[in-house]
Amino acid sequence: MIKLIASDIDGTLVPDGSNKVNPELFDVILKLRAKGIQFAAASGRQWASIESIFDPIKEKIFYLSDNGAYVGCHGRNLFINPIERHIVMDMVEKVRKTEGLDVMVSGPDVVYLETKNEKFLDWLINGYKFRVQCVEDLTKVESEFIKVSVYRKSEVESHTRNLREEFSDRLKITIAGDMWMDCMKPGINKGQAVKLLQDSLGMKPEETMVFGDQLNDIEMLHQAYYSYAVGNARKEVKDAARFQADLNVNDGVLKILKLLL
C-alpha cells in the first residue's frame, strides 16, 4: 500500500517558473490523505513558494524545499541543513566574476540577491512567489544559508561546468532545469529528505511513490519503488525511474494519483 507520495514541482506538476497547478490536484491530495497517504512537495524552490502554490491545502502537506535542505510543514521547519559560510562566500565571489550568471543565496526563510535585473526580480517575486531581499553585498548578510543558486537565462549546465568541478568536493551540486544550478551541503538532496520523512513516519521505499523530471530528482527516484518520470523528463531521469507518467502539461502526475483513488 502506498503511504507517502513526493512530487517535484517545476517541469513535473507545472511548466518551469509557473505557480499554478490544476486545482483538482488539491482535492485528490485531500482524498488520498483521508486514506492515510501523506503528500510532500519536493522542490528546489523556497518553502514560501511551495506554500503559495499549495495554499488551499498548505496545512495538509510536507514541504521538502531547497532540494531537501529544508524539511517542514505550514508554520514550522522540522529540519534545516546549513552550509558553512565561507564556502557560500567563495561561490559568491566566483559567480561575481563570471559573465552572464546571477547568484542567489537562500536563508531558511528569505533569499538574498545583489542583482539589478528588475525583470529577473519580478519573476522571482511574482512568478515563483519567493520571499526576496535585495542587498548591496551578499558577503555582509548575517544569516545562515541552506542553498546557493546560480541562475542563467538558458544553458546553465554548460556555463557552470568549471564551477561544478571546483566546488564538487565542498558542495552537493545539481542542475535543476535549463536555468538553475543549485548547491547544498554535501549529502543533502531530495532523496535524503524523502528518507528523512520515511524514517520519521515509519514508511518504507516500497510504500513510497515519487515523481520528477530533472537531475535533482534522481536521488528521490532511488528512494521509492514507485518512481515515475513524467513524459517530458530528461533521459537520465527516465532511465532512473521504474515507470513513466504523461507529460506535465497533460497532468501526468494527477492522472497517476487519481488511479490510487
**Average pLDDT value for residue range 224-244:** 98
Mean pLDDT over all residues of the chain? 96
What's residue 177's pLDDT?
Answer: 86
Top-confidence residue, 117 or 3 = 3
Average pLDDT on 136-145 reads 95
Average pLDDT of the residues in 80-99: 96
Domain ranges across the chain = 4-80+188-260, 85-184
Angle, helix 24-34 to helix 252-260, in steps of 10 degrees = 30
Query: Which pTM was predicted?
Result: 0.93
pLDDT tens-digit readout, 104-138 = 999 999 999 998 889 999 999 998 999 999 999 99
Q: Reduce the DSSP state of residue 249 to 3 states and report it.
A: helix
CA quadruple 251, 253, 254, 258: dihedral positive or negative?
positive
Consecutive H or E run containing 7: strand 4-7
3-state secondary structure of 175: strand
User: Which CATH fold topology does 85-184 show?
Assistant: 3.30.1240
- Cell 488539491 belongs to residue: 26
Cell triple for 212: 520528477
Report, as an integer, the average pLDDT of 240-244.
Answer: 98
- Output the pLDDT for position 117: 87
Longest alpha-carbon distance in the chain: 52
Q: For residue 16, what pLDDT band results from cuts at 50, 70 and 90?
A: confident
Q: Which CATH superfamily is domain 4-80+188-260 in?
A: HAD superfamily/HAD-like (3.40.50.1000)
Of 118 and 24, the one with more pLDDT: 24
d(CA 201, CA 161): 38
